[in-house]
Amino acid sequence: MSMEKAVYVQLMENILEKIRTGEYRVGEKIMSERQMAMQYGINRLTVRSAIKKLVEEGTLVSIQGKGTFVSRLPKNEKKVPFGDAENVSLSRNLVQSDFQSTRTVLSFKRIENQGVTQDYFPDSPWLYELIRLSRIDDQPYALQICYFPAALFKQPERFNFGEGSLYTYMEMQGHMPKTIISNMEVQEVPAAYQQVMEAGPKKLVFAYEYFGFDEKHQLVEFTKAYYMPEYTSFKYVTKK
């Protein structure tokens, strides 16, 4: 470890990174003080200081006679908010956050409607598939795989989806989603996307599905998205 920063601080950051990447999961036991001291070639008192600090912050919990366990994901005061029915646009949410964000179009093509999307768009033989990766503070944040019917949307290849919002394009085409139905679950990053999201096989993310309906109540968008949890907060409201 470098001597430019206190060794116990470096060890804290190392532990936090292992939690963020899924190497240590919530509820799992981390290495013992002795194992860490041997692995990194540092004093056990230094290891103890790092663990004590993370316990005080609530990220770890020590149980006498059993060891130290991950109690929660690392705190991050900056979050991208979701859960507001009036604002489901990732572009808009990123603009309103304090993050420096960029977005890259990984793939855009016209595809034959087959598989699960046939159930969603039964009257559309062809779809457009748009895959984009958003980064915040130069770290992978969200991967979105969007499908929309080719029969309703014209010349999407002329629109810059790297800089512009999908909903801006849809509004220009007269099919802006007015009603959004969404589902969210926590799951591991699918193997096909682990490399692009720079995530290990055990990394847990928010997996979100969006179904967007225009004012005529026809489905105009189906999106599958994966969000890094350390940068995301969700708000849900239940009504009686």
Long-range contacts: 75-79, Cβ < 8 Å, 24+?
Answer: 76/230, 76/231, 78/231, 79/231, 79/232, 79/233
Output the pTM of the full model: 0.63
18-69 residue pLDDT tens: 887 778 888 999 999 999 999 999 999 999 999 999 999 899 999 999 999 9
Give the pLDDT confidence of 149-189 residue by residue, as tens digits: 999 999 999 999 998 999 999 999 999 999 999 888 989 99
Q: Cβ distance 21 to 199 under 8 Å?
A: yes
Identify how many contiguous H helices and E strands the chain contains and give both numbers.
6, 10
**pLDDT, tens digit, for every residue of 13-31?**
899 888 877 788 889 999 9
Name residue, tokens 């808009």: 92
The per-residue pLDDT for 98 is: 54
Average pLDDT over residues 65-90: 67
pLDDT, tens only, 192-231: 999 999 998 888 899 999 999 999 999 999 999 999 887 7
Rounded (10°) angle between helices 33-40 and 44-57? 120
The H or E element spanning position 208 is: strand 204-213
